[in-house]
Amino acid sequence: MNPGARLVILGKQGAGKGTQAVRLSRHYVVPHVSTGDTFRAAVRSGSEFGKRAQKYLEAGELVPDEVVIGVVRERLTHDDTTHRGFVLDGFPRTVQQAEALMEIVVPQGLDVAIDLEIDTRVVLERLASRRVCSDCGANYSVSDNPPRVPGICDVCGGDVVQRDDDTEAAIRRRLELYDHETAPLVDWFDERGLLARMDGMGSPDQVTERLVTEIDRRKKFRPR
């Protein structure tokens, strides 16, 4: 294994971005930077920032670009990310965010932006089955990966619940926003020679193996 990687994971809601980002961050020993997890943690903390974020998350709306860009810019200036790299999960989601990211990551740039491709029918099934820990945010699926004790988190013992934005109305809105705002980023990264389109179907292990093979191939051509 060759540690260090500078990765973006794209994909519609339920494509498996979070699931794969956790695995890739362990594999390459780099921080997993998830804007969704950051906002959910802020909501749980009850901070002013969290209260402002909550209304966007529950409605499935995007948090304004300048807020998200500020959060990511701050995180990507820490030593761990500048030295070892990162797996970005849920960012960028608009062209404005992508343009800001490319400025933030100068001079090293990115290794690859992975688009996890998956049918909408499958994501709806996955989101209906998804459960998360209300304390630490660990991810489960009642059909494929349930907690060992129903309703209790394997990692921290917290309550395992459905996410507040996994309602029918918020899922519909998130998928609409994906089509309008985020899907164009696939071509945006492709035009810059940074895109890898990857099949998001199959077991989580099969998807990880596919991604690692592609990332390692790309890293070979981008010596740091």
Nearest-approach distance from CB 213 to Mg ion, in angstroms: 23
Distances (CA, A) of 10 to 38, 104, 159, 183, 195: 17, 18, 29, 9, 10
Residue nearest to ligand AP5 (CB): 36
From 14-22, 103-111, 188-196, 213-221, span contacting ligand AP5 (CB under 6 A): 14-22
Residue 55 falls in the annotated catalytic set: no
Nearer to ligand AP5, 89 or 111 (CB): 89
Site string for ligand AP5, 135-174 (x = CB under 6 A): ----x-x--xx-------------------x--------x
Nearest-approach distance from CB 8 to Mg ion, in angstroms: 14
Nearer to ligand AP5, 28 or 91 (CB): 91
Residues in contact with Mg ion by the rule CB under 5 A: 18
Residue with token string 């309008």: 180
Nearer to ligand AP5, 11 or 85 (CB): 11
From 56-64, 75-83, 186-194, 211-219, span contacting ligand AP5 (CB under 6 A): 56-64
Q: Which residues pair with 206 in a beta bridge?
A: none
Told to check if 13 binds ligand AP5 by CB under 6 A, we report yes
Told to check if 56 binds ligand AP5 by CB under 6 A, we report yes
Cα separation, 65 vs 68, in Å, equals 5
